[in-house]
Structure 1
Amino acid sequence: MTSNISSTSMLARLNRRSSRAFETLKNVLLLYLILTRTLKAIRHLRARGFARTIVDLYTWVSQETLLLALRLPRLRAGVQRELAKARLDIEAGMVPSGPSVTRHLALPSFGQSAEWIVAEMDKMDSEAPAHADWHGGRVSGAVYHGGDDMTAVILAAITRYALSNPLHPDVFPAVRKMEAEIVAMCLRMYHAPDGAAGTTTSGGTESIVMAVKAYRDWARAEKGITEPEMVVPETAHAAFDKGAAYMGVKVHTVPVDPITRQVDLKGVRRAINANTILLVGSAINFPDGNADDIVALGKLAKNAGIGLHVDSCLGSFIVPFLAEVSAEEGWGAVPIWDFRVEGVTSISCDTHKYGFAPKGNSVVMYRSANLRRYQYYVNAGWVGGVYASPSLAGSRPGALIAGTWAAMHYMGSSGYRDSCRAIVSTARAIAARIRAEIPVLRVLGDPPASVVAFASAADPIFRKGSKLSASESSKGVDVLEVGDKMAKRGWHLNALKGPAAVHIAVTRLTVPVVDQFIADLKDAVREAELAPSGKGNMARLYGLGTSSAVGPAMVGHIAEAFLDTLYKA
Structure 2
Amino acid sequence: MDKVAALKAHIPPVRTLISVDGAKNAFIAYFVFTHLVRTTVFVSSHGIVGTARAVYGGVMDRVVRIIMSLPSTVKKVEEGMQQARIDIEARLVPSGPGVERHLELPAQGKCTEWILAEMDRMDHETAGKTEWKDGHVSGAVYHGGEDMERVIVAAFEKFVVSNPLHPDVFPAVRKMEAEVVSMCLRMYNHPDGAGTMTSGGTESILMAVKAYRDWARDVKGITEPEMVIPASAHAAFDKAGAYFKIKVHHIPVDPVTRQVPIKAVKRAVNWNTIMVVGSAINFPDGCMDDIVELGKLAKRRNIGLHVDCCLGSFIMPFLERAGFPVAPFDFRVEGVTSISCDTHKYGFAPKGSSVVMYRSADLRKYQYYVNSEWPGGVYASPSISGSRPGSLIAGTWAAMQYMGQEGYLNSCREIVATAKTIENAIRNELPELFVLGKPVASVVAFGSKDESALSVLAIGDLMSARGWHLNALMNPPAVHIACTRLTVGRAERFITDLKDSLREAKERPSGASAGGNMVTVYGLGHSTAVGPRLVQKLATVFLDTLYKA
Same fold at TM > 0.5: yes
Q: Helix, strand or coil: the match of 2:490?
A: helix
Distance in 2 separating the partners of 1:444 and 1:75: 38
| 2:545 is aligned with 1:548 | no
Q: Which residue of structure 2 lines up, in the alignment, with residue 557 of structure 1?
A: 537
Per the TM alignment, residue 526 of structure 1 is displaced from its structure 2 partner at its CA by 1.1
| 2:96 is aligned with 1:98 | yes
Per the TM alignment, residue 13 of structure 1 is displaced from its structure 2 partner at its CA by 6.2
Residue identity opposite 1:281 in structure 2? G
Per the TM alignment, residue 9 of structure 1 is displaced from its structure 2 partner at its CA by 7.9
Q: Which residue of structure 1 lines up, in the alignment, with residue 267 of structure 2?
A: 270
Aligned pair partner of 2:410 in 418, 429, 434: 418
Distance in 1 separating the partners of 2:222 and 2:239: 20
| 2:294 is aligned with 1:297 | yes
Aligned pair partner of 1:164 in 162, 165, 174: 162
Q: Helix, strand or coil: the match of 2:228?
A: strand
CA deviation digits over 1:451-476, x for unaligned, max 9? 000000225xxxxxxxxxxxxxxx64
Distance in 1 separating the partners of 2:491 and 2:514: 27
Q: Helix, strand or coil: the match of 2:489?
A: helix
Q: Helix, strand or coil: the match of 2:320?
A: helix
Residue identity opposite 1:351 in structure 2? T
Aligned pair partner of 1:325 in 322, 331, 348: 322
Residue identity opposite 1:417 in structure 2? L
Q: Which residue of structure 1 lines up, in the alignment, with residue 437 of structure 2?
A: 445
Per the TM alignment, residue 316 of structure 1 is displaced from its structure 2 partner at its CA by 0.2
Contact 1:457 1:476 in 2 (8 A): no
| 2:516 is aligned with 1:536 | yes
Q: Which residue of structure 2 lines up, in the alignment, with residue 467 of structure 1?
A: none
Distance in 1 separating the partners of 2:250 and 2:463: 32
Q: Which residue of structure 2 lines up, in the alignment, with residue 58 of structure 1?
A: 56
Per the TM alignment, residue 246 of structure 1 is displaced from its structure 2 partner at its CA by 0.5
Residue identity opposite 1:249 in structure 2? I
CA deviation digits over 1:111-132, x for unaligned, max 9? 1111111111111112124211
Q: Helix, strand or coil: the match of 1:378?
A: strand
Q: Helix, strand or coil: the match of 2:472?
A: strand
Q: Which residue of structure 2 lines up, in the alignment, with residue 493 of structure 1?
A: 470
Q: Helix, strand or coil: the match of 1:81?
A: helix
Residue identity opposite 1:489 in structure 2? R
Distance in 2 separating the partners of 1:140 and 1:232: 25
Q: Which residue of structure 2 lines up, in the alignment, with residue 282 of structure 1?
A: 279
Q: Helix, strand or coil: the match of 2:333?
A: coil
Q: Helix, strand or coil: the match of 1:54?
A: helix
Q: Helix, strand or coil: the match of 2:117?
A: helix
Aligned pair partner of 2:383 in 383, 388, 391: 391
CA deviation digits over 1:500-555, x for unaligned, max 9? 00000000000011111111111111111112434111001101101111211110
Q: Which residue of structure 2 lines up, in the alignment, with residue 466 of structure 1?
A: none
Aligned pair partner of 1:505 in 482, 485, 503: 482
**Could you state the TM-score of these two structures normalised by the residue count of structure 1?**
0.94
Q: Helix, strand or coil: the match of 1:241?
A: helix
| Residue range with higher mean Cα deviation, 23-32 or 12-21 | 12-21
CA deviation digits over 1:306-347, x for unaligned, max 9? 010000000000000101112xxxx4x321100000000000
Per the TM alignment, residue 446 of structure 1 is displaced from its structure 2 partner at its CA by 1.1
Distance in 2 separating the partners of 1:268 and 1:102: 55
| 2:504 is aligned with 1:527 | yes
Q: Which residue of structure 1 lines up, in the alignment, with residue 456 of structure 2?
A: 479
Q: Which residue of structure 1 lines up, in the alignment, with residue 20 of structure 2?
A: 22
1:211-250, aligned counterparts within 5 Å?
211-250=208-247
**Could you state the TM-score of these two structures normalised by the residue count of structure 2?**
0.97
CA deviation digits over 1:179-215, x for unaligned, max 9? 0000000000001153x10000000000001011000
Aligned pair partner of 1:310 in 307, 310, 314: 307
Distance in 2 separating the partners of 1:380 and 1:151: 41
Residue identity opposite 2:397 in structure 1? W
| Residue range with higher mean Cα deviation, 56-65 or 538-547 | 56-65
Unaligned 5+ segments in structure 2 are: none
Contact 1:442 1:455 in 2 (8 A): yes
Residue identity opposite 1:30 in structure 2? I
Residue identity opposite 1:156 in structure 2? A
Q: Measured at CA, do residues 153 and 21 of structure 1 come closer, stay the same or move farther in structure 2, by a change above 3 Å?
A: same
Contact 1:94 1:129 in 2 (8 A): no
Distance in 2 separating the partners of 1:412 and 1:114: 35
CA deviation digits over 1:391-444, x for unaligned, max 9? 000000100000000000000000000000000000001100111111111111
CA deviation digits over 1:43-72, x for unaligned, max 9? 112222211221222222223213312322
Aligned pair partner of 1:371 in 363, 366, 387: 363
Q: Helix, strand or coil: the match of 2:499?
A: helix
Unaligned 5+ segments in structure 1 are: 460-474
Contact 1:357 1:403 in 2 (8 A): yes
Q: Helix, strand or coil: the match of 1:325?
A: coil
Q: Which residue of structure 1 lines up, in the alignment, with residue 140 of structure 2?
A: 142
Per the TM alignment, residue 162 of structure 1 is displaced from its structure 2 partner at its CA by 0.4
Q: Which residue of structure 2 lines up, in the alignment, with residue 110 of structure 1?
A: 108
CA deviation digits over 1:259-298, x for unaligned, max 9? 1111011110100111111000000000000000000100
Residue identity opposite 2:210 in structure 1? K
Q: Measured at CA, do residues 500 and 141 of structure 1 come closer, stay the same or move farther in structure 2, by a change above 3 Å?
A: same
CA deviation digits over 1:113-152, x for unaligned, max 9? 1111111111111212421111010000000000000110
Distance in 2 separating the partners of 1:320 and 1:505: 17
Per the TM alignment, residue 14 of structure 1 is displaced from its structure 2 partner at its CA by 5.5
Residue identity opposite 1:210 in structure 2? M
